[in-house]
Amino acid sequence: VLLTERRHLAAAPVPGHPDAWRLDLRYALTAPADRDVPLGSPATNGRPGGAGYGGFFWRAVAAEPPHAFTASADGEEHVNGSAEPWVALTGTGPGGGAYTLVFTGLGPGDRWFVRTAMYPGVCVAFAFETPAVVPAGGSRHGRHGVVVADGVLDRDAAAALAATEAAVRA
């Protein structure tokens, strides 16, 4: 056994937002009592280009490359590797329906791994630049939220959804 995982998933409507719902993900990763478990990423193993992924990962669908943004940054090159409280991804699916995804819940030392050009995805990266360790017998806990909303929302609307999500998680 490398790690034992306990996971809880819940979905619920977003109060005051009839065209949105939220996913709440909570988990604990526990190492065996006799050894530490290092968590790395392609970046910590030498791959260039900000490939610090490894952790909770959402692979989106998009007919065209989506747009990623935070409260203060725009575009994959500025959002990838950030430690902002939230990140949003807006796009249009193959059937033409527009969406906005708002992600929250970075843990201490975590970063956002974001891709839009190669494929659309957002990850809570545990080891973006340096490996993380789950100590022997210890656990790494996380709680992440994703708001899924119809339509392409602007920065203010995404920030409001992120604030709603943070209040629910508090």
Residue ranges per structural domain of the chain: 4-169
Judge whether residue 139 has pLDDT over 90. Answer: yes
pLDDT category at 26 given cuts 50, 70, 90 is: very high
The per-residue pLDDT for 168 is 76
CA distance 74 to 106: 19
> Span 56-74, mean pLDDT?
95
pLDDT over 90 percentage in the chain: 81
The per-residue pLDDT for 63 is 86
pLDDT category at 160 given cuts 50, 70, 90 is: very high
Amino acid identity of residue 136, one-letter, is: A
What average pLDDT does the chain have?
94
